[in-house]
Amino acid sequence: MTGGRKPRILIVDDSEMTARIIEADLVTKGFEVHVADTADKATKIILKKQTRPDLVLLDVRMPNVNGEQFCRFIKSNSLFKGIKVLLCSGENVEELQRICREAGADGYVPKDAVMSSLVARELSPSPAAPQE
């Protein structure tokens, strides 16, 4: 699938902090990661063959074009048929499942699960770290 290159992931999230935390984690796992804070910027990344991702981790709630609309755009374009889309959101699971079904996404990840596992892992090696 990747032809000798690292698997590429595009994170689309209007929260820069969230995107950077997830990006740092994925880079340490060996992925090539691109970040966009709007659907417009994400579209530019997807359109270029050299940056086209294998997977898009897509925030559902964003200004202008939301994740549901952007997922439909990706899934309806034959040029992008190899791209998997995972919705990532703070919505409740039932709502995430509905959006996932209706938008044609490949799956979903509750944002609190992603963030809490990253934070837990960051905190676990050094329990004596000073608390703020």
Alpha helices (H) along the chain: 16-28, 39-47, 67-76, 93-103, 111-123
Structure tokens at 16: 């820069």
CATH number of 12-48+60-110: 3.40.50.2300
Distance (Å, rounded) from C-alpha 104 to C-alpha 96?
A: 12
pTM: 0.84
What pLDDT, on the 0 to 100 scale, is given for residue 82? 92
Contact 22, 57 (CB under 8 A): yes
37-60 average pLDDT score: 95
Structure tokens at 44: 């530019």
Q: Is 129 a residue whose pLDDT tops 70?
A: no
Q: Which residues fall within 8 angstroms of residue 97, CB to CB, at 6 or more apart? A: 108
